[in-house]
Amino acid sequence: MNLIESLAASLEPVYEPTTGYGVAGLLIITIPMILTALGTLVVISRQNSSRKDITEVKAGVKATKDQVVNGHGSVEDGADSLRVDLDAKFGEMFKQMAEIRDFIGMTPPDPVVGPDDTQPYDVQVFSAE
């Protein structure tokens, strides 16, 4: 037997159903492989859609971060202008509150002490006298 004859013999069908029982047996053998292949296709397609969703979420997070950081400086750059702006606004508000307190004759109480008992909070509580 030469190489060509052995290849021809190996290519002959191993199982060729001739009755309904033979077809049922063939289906029993091949259906698990077909279902596995279909399941693999479903998993791959869901991975691709999840990858697209994750890319969209990352783009949205980056856009939000850029919008928040834009105009406020960056902590890494040493410029925290948002903090400076807030401190200026609160300072102006406390100054106006002091003017109103002086105008109506209220005196400020002792400052509220922080949790470490060293630095007072910037909380102003008024009492009428």
- Residue 91: predicted pLDDT: 84
Say how far apart CA 68 and CA 62 lie, in whole Å.
10
Q: Is 16 helix (H, G, I), strand (E, B) or coil?
A: coil
Residue 65: name the closest of 35, 57, 112, 23 by CA: 57
Quick: pLDDT tens for 26-41: 788 889 999 999 999 9
Least confident span in 10-14, 41-45, 92-96, 117-121: 117-121
Percent of the chain surpassing pLDDT 90: 9
pTM score over 0.85? no
Question: Cα dist. 51→16, 41, 54 in Å?
Answer: 44, 15, 5
Tokens (6 digits) for 97: 């509150």
CB 122 within 8 A of CB 90: yes
Residue 69: both structure tokens together? 């950081």
Residue of higher predicted confidence among 81 and 48: 48
Q: What is the pLDDT of residue 115?
A: 55
* DSSP, res 77: T
Two structure tokens written together for 62: 């980056």
Our measurement of the distance from residue 56's CA atom to the centroid of its chain's CA atoms, rounded to an integer in Å, reads 10
Cβ pair 73, 81 in contact under 8 A: yes
| Mean of pLDDT over the chain | 75
pLDDT at 55: 87
pLDDT band at 42 (very low <50, low <70, confident <90, very high): very high
